[in-house]
Amino acid sequence: MFDLFSLVEAACLPGDSLTICFAADGSFDPGAVGILAAPHTHQHMMVAKERASQLPAAGKPDWPRLVASPGGHFEVVFTSPVSLAAIGCVRVPKAEYDRLWDMAFASFARKLGDAERALVHDFVQMRKGVVDGRIRLEIIA
């Protein structure tokens, strides 16, 4: 399902990198990255460590919400190019999915900035992968 070779150069973080990797004064904190980041091969251990207190109360069907929910998520930062062939499943909170859908398909008249255009491009490519059956999409309520 995954092309693991293309995922070797990826760092997994237990939250939003723009929040957890910066000091209170706004400067980048490489020490935090060193402590918090895990390689892709150890993603499952990082998730288990971060959510250990929530696991006993959660039934197996609830586990995807422990990974991605409005209350928290994990982030993967790729340090080399990644293709859709390396992605087997995308989990996204419903509010974020709806926001990206609206940005991509409901706001044709609106001018998008560079960052929004990049998000829309990635979202549309992901949707094509879903429609083609190459990517499984899980929308987390």
pLDDT digits over 78-131, tens only? 877 777 787 888 888 888 899 999 989 876 677 888 888 888 998 999 999 999
- Asked whether the beta carbons of 20 and 77 are under 8 A apart, the reply is no
Provide the domain count of the chain.
2
> Residues 77, 94: one domain?
no
pTM of the model: 0.62
> Residues 69, 92: one domain?
no
Residue 1 lies in a domain: no
| 3-state secondary structure at position 2 | coil
Q: Please give the residue range of the domain that contains residue 120.
A: 87-141
> Residues 13, 54: one domain?
yes
Identify residue 46 by its one-letter amino acid code. M
> Residues 35, 60: one domain?
yes
> Residues 77, 124: one domain?
no
> Residues 70, 91: one domain?
no
> Residues 78, 24: one domain?
yes
Residue among 47, 48, 93, 52 at smallest CA distance from 69: 93
pLDDT digits over 40-63, tens only? 888 888 888 888 888 888 888 888
Last residue of a domain, one of 83, 100, 128: 83
> Residues 99, 137: one domain?
yes
Last residue of a domain, one of 83, 101, 127: 83
pLDDT score, position 6: 46
29 burial level (CB within 10 Å; 0-12, 13-18, 19+): middle
- The rounded radius of gyration (Å) of the Cα atoms in the chain is 16
Last residue of a domain, one of 83, 104, 124: 83
pLDDT score, position 71: 75
